[in-house]
Amino acid sequence: MRFEVLNRNTTQDFRLRTTDFIKMSNGNMNLTLKVWRQKNAQTAGKFVNYKAEGISPDMSFLEMLDVVNEGLIHKGEDPIHFDHDCREGICGMCSLYINGHPHGPKRAITTCQLHMRTFHDGETVTIEPWRAGPFPVIKDLAVDRSAFDRIQQAGGYVSVNTGGVPDANEIAIPKVIADEAFNSATCIGCGACVAACKNASAMLFVSAKIKQFSLLPQGQPERYRRVQSMVAQMDAEGFGSCTNTGACEAECPKEIKLTNIAGMNLDYFSAKLFRQEELHEQGHGEG
Amino acid sequence: MSLDAKIPAGPLAEKWSKHKFNLKLVNPANKRKYDVIVVGTGLAGASAAASLAELGYNVKAFCFQDSPRRAHSIAAQGGINAAKNYRNDGDSVYRLFYDTIKGGDYRAREGNVYRLAEVSVNIIDQCVAQGVPFAREYGGLLDNRSFGGAQVSRTFYARGQTGQQLLLGAYSALNRQINAGKVKMYTRTEMLDVVIVDGKAQGIVTRNLKDGKIETHSGHAVLLCTGGYGNVFYLSTNAMGCNVTAAWRAHKRGAFFGNPCYTQIHPTCIPVTGDHQSKLTLMSESLRNDGRVWAPKTAELSQKLRKGELKVTDLKEEDRDYFLERKYPSFGNLVPRDVASRNAKEIVDEGRGVGGSGVAVYLDFAESISRLGEDAVRAKYGNLFDMYYQITDENPYEVPMRIYPAVHYTMGGLWVDYNLMTTVQGLYALGEANFSDHGANRLGASALMQGLADGYFVIPYTIGDYLATIGPKPVDTKHPAFEQTKKEVEERINKLLSLKGNKTVDEYHRELGLIMWEYCGMARSEEGLKKAKGLIHNLRADFWKNAIVIGENEEFNSSLEKAGRVADFLELGELMIDDALMRHESCGGHFRLESQTEEGEAKRDDENFAFVAAWEYKADNQPEVLHKEELVFENVHLTQRSYK
């Protein structure tokens, strides 16, 4: 059949269709939000209460905040500042501490994937930023996570230049190993592990990258050098130690396993105990 | 001026090798005397920044996100094409080239596309060497899957997170160079203008998003790797922050805009649920390997399903219309995206749509689950199924997914020559930000390929030619152009901040999106486009009177950030309409109702429209000037695309 312009080629008709959507989404939840507001890193912050009205259970948590912010802007007030970008759970930008949990009460999802059907009408929802010394607040709910980048810069790579590498299929990697490396590599660097930890430890994040490379043949040449530099940077940033409570694993939106930390510790101690000479020879050891 | 694409002469397969030999080189000791600015750190930007720094150039890289790892390339799900022919199924560089030209409906350059296919094999090698954990088979070698528009399996993947893994690979290479002191990284920093000195791009003006500080940065060349402009539609699969500002500012400084109306509407996205919707989520094209697209045979059945009088799983086999398999038996569910999208629209327009809104069709896995078992399907697509469940509250292992097309990618972008240089000397555009390789429709798994090809394997060669020509003399930041451009940026910010009307920036953005989707979306007509032009014109005028922008410049101000981006979208929208109006033919994702075959397929007009439209900005409120780059086809024969 041929395509025709149907009788809805006007904005008027389009509005009719969007009205259908509104009916469909049936927004009738009302909530109270207790939100952390803080102008900048230098100023003290405080909780401020807001009403979120006419909320649909089909909205994502961030879309609910969009509605509240639209209301604030209409009143000429500063909208609530929060980090977000892809809104499909992969960029790692969103970072809200909701009712005492990083990324909210549901397991294995990010804040942007949390939907309002998880909450009930009349509920009070507390929203805070990630709280950890190495993640200073920039404004309201947005924090500075550049410490994570600096840890990756210290050694989270395989030192190969562009070009001159072997054919991809010259390196055979058993499927189980490749799959396990993938499971570690799936970390989105959101920082929920740090926010969940009473010690603000970043060991789940750091170990995931170390484990990805220590499993793969490509990561072997720099294996012990890498673990030392990344751990040193992690310590320099002021992240705490791991005391094996496992909150990080429980709250990780990508379900990164605690065994990554065990693997990192093994490599770290191997490097410290047995590899110092070799690393010194390469000029890569710690002092 | 006349457009010179600088495509090298000679046989197709030798163009790139010969060109690489003919390009001037910068000697290793001199490379450190050059500064290169890279804006954007997605696949194109991160790979370019890392590769150029490895060569010895000093790189300054910029991104608006809080970390370069968060660029929107990260969200690409399905895979990356490469002509490795590891499956022994008849693939070759020439076949990938041919599929891409045909998929793009013969509106791309032969020379560029062949080069893309040629370097595709190097990309996979590079990524594996970096430790990217691609999917593998039990023998330890790389696995492949099929994507739309191809009859070979050439797509490499990492579960449903290929973009993430490739970006983290490029990010790791970038980190290595940051650590080596060769890249200086600026995060949460947005580029707001290009500085042109004596006709050459020599710097940029940026705003630090945390404190509002406006700064100028100088360099011998500027690379824009700033992605696409799908967010002009408000609802798209792009991240919230994706915007056209960098490209648009460059356009207003002299860079021509190529084929702005070429937009990709991806067929398999989760349907809109309400007015609150802030973005749409893609369900990877890879799902069409095992999922079957269908709709009820009649509008009556559709009504019953929508009212809940009939359960979808109870609908008899003979009442289901597997419309892609029926109409395109040889490609079936794996027809290219533009074809799949238009067919879904046709079903919905016939009243056969499903779901609460009736604006959706089914993507059904029941047959695959019974053939392969639920575990096998979970292993392949688990994370996508989970994502769908999370958003819709429906279990796709039990009921078919509901899907509908959504804006996903823009084939249009800044016009570039074979060297990736725009019409401004020293200003380059890479990845989705340029217009170059996909013609009027991009094939699945080719965006990742192009971004990385441009960054890893094209720009490291072509930039040297330009830099060697201009010489390493330091850029003079005292030149009044820097101060003048900065002043203009500040004036614009102040103008935005003075807006204290009664309508939020998001409300304008949403309205613009509705106009674009309705009149410049999956089907376009002269009447509709003309109407849209007027609507956008008025909307823009209203924006500069009645928008509300909160706060001040010297703070973290999301309201101001958005306002600047939407103001640029409002200008871009009008250019897209002009381009769509001018192109009185259908091709790929650009479907003019006036130009279709008897079967309702896109009908090209090669005699009059086998050209790239490159638009030149003159002045505000003046029509842009159209330049045509004729497309020359020496190797492929232009035919009506058929996937039957």
Q: How confident is the model at residue B235 (pLDDT cuts 50, 70, 90)?
A: very high
- The domains spanning B266-406 and B480-606 adopt the same CATH topology: no
Q: What is the dihedral of CA B281, B285, B288, B291, to 10 degrees?
A: -30
From the centroid of its chain, how far is CA A79? 22
Nearest Cα to B137, choosing from A178, A213, A214? Answer: A178
Note whether A45 contacts B: Cβ–Cβ < 8 A.
no
> Span B207-213, mean pLDDT?
98
Q: What is the average per-residue pLDDT within B341-360?
A: 93
Question: Residues of B with CB below 8 A from A93's CB?
Answer: 65-66, 70
Q: Does domain A11-139 have CATH number 3.10.20.30?
A: yes
Residue A118 token pair: 């998880």
B345: chain A residues, CB-CB within 8 Å: 3
What pLDDT is stored for residue B1 in this prediction? Answer: 62
Residues in A closer than 8 angstroms to B54, CB to CB, are 161-162
* Residues of chain A positioned with their CB less than 8 A from the CB of B129: 158, 160, 165-166, 171, 218
Instruction: State pLDDT tens for residues A87-117.
Output: 999 999 999 999 999 999 999 999 999 999 9
CATH 1.10.1060.10 domain residues, chain A: 145-282
* Alpha-carbon span B66 to B64, nearest angstrom: 7
In the structure, what pLDDT confidence band is assigned to residue B464 with cuts at 50, 70 and 90?
A: very high
B183 to chain A, closest Cα gap in Å: 11
Q: Does B81 touch chain A (CB under 8 A)?
A: no
Query: Each residue of B285-299: pLDDT tens digit?
Result: 889 989 999 999 999
Look at A178 and B278 and tell me if their CB atoms are within 8 Å. no
Q: Could you give the angle at the alpha carbon of B594 between the alpha carbons of B590 and B598, nearest 5°?
A: 95
Query: Which residues partner with B184 through β-bridges?
Result: B60
- For residue A8, the model assigns a pLDDT of 39
Residues of B belonging to the active site: 337
Pairs across A and B, CB distance < 8 A: 280
Q: Is A119 on the interface with B (CB under 8 A)?
A: no
Q: Which residues of chain A have pLDDT under 70?
A: 1-26, 281-287
Say which of B158, B535, B551 has its CB closest to residue A11: B535
Identity of the amino acid at B620: D
B214-218 vs B413-414, strand pairing mode: unpaired
> Does the beta carbon of B379 lie under 8 angstroms from any beta carbon of chain A?
no
Q: Does domain B266-406 have CATH number 3.90.700.10?
A: yes
The pLDDT tens digits for B138-184 are: 999 999 988 888 899 999 999 889 999 999 999 999 999 999 999 99
Please state, as a whole number, how many other Cβ atoms lie within 10 Å of the Cβ of residue B395: 10
Distance from chain centroid for Cα A51: 27
Q: Looking at the complex, does the CB of residue B165 fall below 8 Å from at least one CB of chain A?
A: yes
CATH number for the domain whose boundaries are A145-282: 1.10.1060.10
Q: What is the pLDDT of residue B204?
A: 98
Query: Is A66 an interface residue toward B (CB < 8 Å)?
Result: yes
Indicate the DSSP class of residue B421. Answer: B
Q: Alpha-carbon distance A237 to A219, whole Å? A: 24
- How far apart are the CA of B138 and the nearest CA of chain A, in angstroms? 5
Could you read off the pLDDT of B15-51 as tens digits, one per residue?
999 999 999 999 999 999 999 999 999 999 999 999 9
Distant-in-sequence, close-in-space partners of A257: CB < 8 Å, separation ≥ 6: A183, A249
Where in chain A are all domains bearing CATH 3.10.20.30?
A: 11-139
Q: Which residues contact A140 (CB under 8 A, 6 or more apart)?
A: A35, A36, A37, A38, A45, A80, A81, A82, A129
Please give the radius of gyration of chain A, using alpha carbons only, rounded to the nearest integer.
Answer: 23
Nearest neighbour of B129 by CB, restricted to A74, A145, A158: A158
Residue B525 has its nearest CB partner, among A5, A85, A188, at A5
The per-residue pLDDT of chain B, averaged, comes to 96
Average pLDDT over residues B424-447: 96
Chosen for mutation from B172, B391, B461 (greatest number of chain A CBs closer than 10 Å) is B172
- Taking only the tens place, the pLDDT of each residue in B389-399 is 989 999 999 99
**Which residues in chain A touch residue B550, judged by CB atoms under 8 angstroms apart?**
73, 76-79
- Rounded Cα–Cα distance for residues B88 and B100 (Å): 20
Which residues of B, range 216-245, sit inside 8 Å of A by Cβ?
237, 239-241
pLDDT digit string (tens) for B296-341?
A: 999 999 999 999 999 999 999 999 999 999 999 999 999 988 899 9
- Both tokens of B50, joined, read 């890392």
Pick the CATH number of B480-606 from 3.60.70.12, 3.40.1190.20, 1.10.1040.10, 1.20.58.100: 1.20.58.100
Contacts of A213 in chain B (CB under 8 A): 131
* Record: contact B179-A153, CB cut-off 8 A: yes
B168 touches chain A (CB under 8 A): yes
**Which of residues 227 through 266 in chain A touch B, CB cutoff 8 A?**
none
Which residue in A has a C-alpha nearest to residue B349's C-alpha? Answer: A6
Any B CB within 8 A of A11 CB: yes
* Structure confidence at residue B360 as a pLDDT band (50, 70, 90): very high
What ipTM does this complex have?
0.96
CB contact under 8 A, A73 and B559: yes
Q: Give the residue, B436 or A62, on which the prediction is more confident.
A: A62
Q: Which of B134, B136, B378, B548 to mutate to test binding with chain A, by most A CBs within 10 Å of its CB?
A: B136
Nearest CB partner across the interface for B75, out of A18, A90, A162: A90
| Residue B532: count of CB within 10 angstroms of its CB | 24
d(CA B644, CA B45): 38
Q: Report residue B581's pLDDT band, with 50, 70 and 90 as the boundaries.
A: very high
Instruction: Tell me if chain A has a CB within 8 Å of the CB of B278.
Output: yes
Residue A23 confidence (pLDDT): 39
The structural domains of chain B, with segments of one domain joined by +, span 266-406, 480-606
For residue range B529-578, list pLDDT tens digits in order.
999 999 999 999 999 999 999 999 999 999 999 999 999 999 999 999 99
The 3-state secondary structure of chain A reads: CCCCCCCCCCHHHHHHHHHHHHHHHCCCEEEEEEEEECCCCCCCCEEEEEEEEEECCCCEHHHHHHHHHHHHHHCCCCCCCCCCCCCCCCCCCCCCEECCEECCCCCCCCHHHCEHHHCCCCCEEEEECCCCCCCCEEECCEECCHHHHHHHHCCCCCCCCCCCCCCHHHCCCCHHHHHHHHHHHCCCCCCHHHHHCCCCECHHHHHHHHHHHHHCHHHHHHHHHHHHHHHHHHHHCCCECCCCCCHHHHHCCCCCCCHHHHHHHHHHHHHHHHCHHHHHHHCCCCC
Contact predicate A164/B116, CB 8 Å:
no
